[in-house]
Amino acid sequence: MLTSMSRLPLNTLPAFRAVAQLQNLRAAAERLHLTHSAISQQIRGLEEQLGFDLFDRRGRRLVLNGAGETLLRHVQCALAQLDEGVQAAALVARGASQPLRVSVLPSFAQRWLLPRMGRWRQRHPELVLEIETSPQVADLYRDGFQAALRAGRGPWPGVVSEPLFDAPMPMIVLASPETARQLPDPRPETLARQPLLGDKEMWRQWFAAAGLSINVTPVASFNDAGLMLQAVEQGLGLGLGRELLAADSLCDGRLVKLSPISIDFEPTDTYHLVYPPALREWPPLQALRTWIRDELERSRENLTGPAAAPGTGETNASIATVGRNV
């Protein structure tokens, strides 16, 4: 019976984790770039050293038994911490020369992040920012990211998740200026008769907030909010989107806000900056955190600033343009 940590062959733990996840020696060998026999010997040696079996053999499959499941839970935590420590040490050793890799939702990258990259370069010309977009939640450790910008409830296991907003992000009704000019008025009853873009349930909730109990069928839906806003800008219909993602288009006049009514769709969702705990004090990550918060404050000020002419993003001015030139 194992009584000392010194008797645990640590070099076999990555093989144990891979076999446990894949349930196949050959697949685990391919993942770790080892031979089938090498993986088999490591698993056999680990079980011999521990003094008990970790797997049930079912043909070519190796399925964890109770002891194996218990060990896997602890091994995953330990290996994640080791991976994190190695990554953090490498980043410190390389300093600012190491690119800061960030996983970002496509809509957030397109509508908010990329238009601001010029100011990032002005502030931090020495820091290389590598952005990869994906609608999927990236595994920071496995995929080699130092940070991610995610939308959701959080928190996520194994990482720090900092909410970027103290309040929900409102969903507002948007249109292109030309579409807005063709509307006789901005009343919800009028908007319900227009081509609508986006999620049916979001629209149902918006009309309910406006006091209307109606079922609407959008003419098109999108799996990416950035594409939906682009369709609205091209005059294909009215959109219901997050004010933050539409901020630049509101400010430069590509979009107008049609109604003061807004909803907090899935109000517990917000954007988070996510990163491994060991990188909390890493200077490039601190720089990114500060820059994002500064830019968000700039966006907030642009959206909620003093009254301005139509097209500047000021809410009442934008609404006031609807129906004037019909």
pLDDT digit string (tens) for 228-239?
A: 999 999 999 999
Kindly state whether residues 150 and 291 are assigned to the same domain.
yes
Asked if residue 186 and residue 235 are part of one domain, the reply reads: yes
**325 — pLDDT class (breaks 50, 70, 90):** very low
Residues 232 and 316 in one domain: yes
Distance CA 116, CA 106 (A): 15
50 and 180 share one domain: no
Domain count for the chain: 3
pLDDT in tens, 135-164: 888 888 888 899 999 888 778 888 899 988
Q: What is the pLDDT of residue 320?
A: 36
The parent domain of residue 85 ranges over 5-91
- 181 plus 246 within the same structural domain: yes
Same domain, 289 and 206: no
Whether residue 325 lies inside any domain: the answer is no
Within a domain: residue 274?
yes
Are residue 137 and residue 87 in the same domain, yes or no?
A: no
Domain boundary (91, 117, 135) is at 91
**Same domain, yes or no, for 69 and 190?**
no
CA triplet 115, 197, 265: central angle to 5 degrees?
75
Final residue in a domain of this structure, among 91, 123, 145: 91
160 closest CA partner among 140, 131, 136:
140
* Whole-model pTM over 0.85: no
Is the pLDDT at 311 greater than 60? The verdict is: no
184: pLDDT strictly greater than 50: yes
311 and 195 part of one domain: yes
**Tokens found for residue 140:** 């920071």
Q: What share of the chain is helix, strand, coil (3-state, %, to 5)?
A: 50, 15, 35
Closest CA to 90 of 9, 168, 146: 146
Q: In 3-state terms, what secondary structure has residue 324?
A: coil
Q: Does 34 map to a domain?
A: yes
Residue 135 lies in a domain: yes
Are 221 and 284 part of one and the same domain? no
Distance, in Å, from the CA atom of 244 to the CA atom of 186, rounded to the nearest integer, reads 21
Count of C-beta atoms within a 10 Å radius of residue 290: 12
Percentage of the chain modeled with pLDDT above 90: 52
Q: Are residues 62 and 134 in the same domain?
A: no
